[in-house]
Amino acid sequence: MKLLSRISAAMKFAATGRLSASAFEGAMQNRRLIAWKATQENINSLLASGGDLLRARARQIVRSNPYASNAADSFVANAVGAGIVPSSLLTDTVLKDELQRVWLAWTDEADADDLTDFYGLQAMAARAMFEAGECFVRFRPRRPEDGLTVPLQLQLLESEHLPFEKNEIGTNGNQIRCGIEFDKIGRRVAYHFYRKHPGDATDQSSKGEIVRVPASEVLHIYRPQRPGQIRGVPWISPALVKLYLLDQYDDAELDRKKVAALFAGFITKNAPEDNLLGEGAPDAAGAAIAGLSPGTMQVLLPGEDVKFSSPADVGGSYEMFQYRTLLAIAAALGVPYTNVTGDLKAANYSSIRAGTVEFRRRMDQFQHATLIYQLCRPVWKRWLETAVLSGALNFPGFASDPVKYAAVKWITPKWEWVDPLKDRQAEKIAQECGWKAPSDIIEAEGYDVDETYRRIAADQKRAEALGIRLGKPEAQPAPTPEPLPQDDEEKPQPEKPEEENP
């Protein structure tokens, strides 16, 4: 019986081994992977349990780590720059000019805190997504007597205002998950915000009070990475651990260098009363200090010795280790290595351009799928409705056909290249061959097409009035050659040489 059990166990083991060998390598549980524990928890469960700590660590590392801070600034500068600007698609130039004029005036009044303009709010929202993974924008309708161009402002709220731990069933039967209230069919109907920032120790009023704000008054700006995700994950999350440990390593290396710079010697004497190297009287702690002058040749007694400190050095591995670690950090952030570190010593035109092209694709995706769709588009719609209702804009038939007036194209900031001359020449060739429209080239520069053409026409008209010629100077005509003499004209005869005397 024992033999049969052993044979049965061996057969089971062999069958299990064959099964493991035929499975996915990443799903095996052999000796190499036995310590790899993975969870099947939903992204929302992970955020509900660890979102607060993850966000706090992300904010702390951006505050204190120079590479993280520089990467955040580079991310915002490339994602938003001077602003993602709307260009109305109205065909009526008079109405479009009026629309753009009112919008431009309102952008300076958009911030409810009066700290920046609408495009500055875009930059703050992008930085919040890098650090905290999300940002909230609350519409703040204003009274006509407030004196705004359009009675509407925007208030930015940090992620901490919406508690991760608020998960319950509301009194109306709706489910509240991570602070967001959903109706029976999964639509967002409200947000349950702290009235005051829970981490602001300077404001003790209404501490811990939660208010319910309708979802129609709130924009939730975040980058969804998985289906069903309801809260944002900090962009910097994949690089957090490496940034933290690298920071600790750098601090330790700085301390080691500081200690190594403290050159010290230790004297061994035969007897305590021996006076070696001209030492002085003992200090309060009983230690006598001796000094060496330049050029000193000290004769020691038999048995006496002087030893100097020699701290260990990491050798030439420090810089290569830093480089490889920072490469991994840059890859985790999706930001080029040169943008994270500012290190251009090994860069050339091809490597810079290749990295910039890849980074540009990521930023294009982020701009259009997140910033424009979640922030710019709903703000434009709400602003236009408020402008028409308040009388700031007079659009006939707006109520019956608002889509006609709301059509807009958002122009992202211009991308600077390493060699702009080559790009200008390529655009010129593409336009002349009919492969690219002039309007695409102008919008790639970050400008509105109609406004650009109007300004060009105005500049030309102004220059002509002043007698100034703009643009490339015209080629001067070539001088007319003198006509050749005709056959019936008398041609000059060459002089005959004088005859020699015989």
Q: 229-233, 251-255, 404-408, 484-488 — which one is most confidently predicted on average?
A: 229-233
Query: 3-state DSSP call for residue 308?
Result: strand
Question: Confidence band (pLDDT; 50, 70, 90) for 22?
Answer: very low
From 264, 257, 268, 277, select the one nearest 308 (Cα to Cα): 264
Instruction: Express each pLDDT in 167-209 by its tens digit.
Output: 999 999 999 999 999 999 999 999 999 999 999 888 877 778 9
- R_g over Cα of the chain: 37
Output the pLDDT for position 312. Answer: 66
CA distance 338 to 432: 35
Contacts of 265 (CB under 8 A, 6+ apart): 292, 306, 307, 308, 309
Q: ∠ at Cα 134 (187, 216), nearest 5°? A: 35
CA distance 82 to 322: 33
Cβ-contact 253, 318 below 8 angstroms: yes
What separation, in Å, do the N-terminal and C-terminal C-alpha atoms of the chain show? 150
- Cα atoms in the Cβ-side hemisphere of radius 13 Å centred on 225: 13
CA distance 280 to 282: 6
Span 304-333, average pLDDT? 80
Determine which of 73-82, 234-243, 252-261, 274-283 has the lowest per-residue pLDDT on average: 274-283
DSSP assignment, residue 209?
A: -
324 pLDDT higher than 70: yes
Question: Confidence band (pLDDT; 50, 70, 90) for 313?
Answer: low
Q: What is the mean pLDDT of the chain?
A: 83
CA distance 359 to 232: 21
Contacts of 205 (CB under 8 A, 6+ apart): 196
From 183, 162, 164, 180, select the one nearest 172 (Cα to Cα): 183
CA distance 231 to 228: 9
Residue type for 415, please? Answer: W
Cβ-contact 385, 150 below 8 angstroms: no
The neighbouring-strand residues paired with 41 are: none
Query: 3-state DSSP call for residue 265?
Result: strand
Determine which of 106-110, 202-206, 300-304, 429-433 has the lowest per-residue pLDDT on average: 300-304
371 pLDDT higher than 60: yes
Instruction: Express each pLDDT in 386-396 by its tens digit.
Output: 999 999 999 98
For the chain, the structural domain boundaries read 43-76+111-238, 349-465
Structure tokens at 447: 């400008």
CA distance 451 to 466: 23
Question: Confidence band (pLDDT; 50, 70, 90) for 502?
Answer: very low
Q: Report the run of H or E that residue 189 belongs to, with start and end.
A: strand 188-194
13 pLDDT higher than 60: no
Percentage of residues in the chain with pLDDT exceeding 70? 78
Output the pLDDT for position 20. Answer: 46
Instruction: Express each pLDDT in 30-59 by its tens digit.
Output: 888 888 888 888 999 999 999 999 999 999
Instruction: Express each pLDDT in 246-305 by its tens digit.
Output: 999 888 888 877 777 776 666 666 666 666 555 555 656 556 566 666 655 666 667 667
The reported pTM is: 0.76
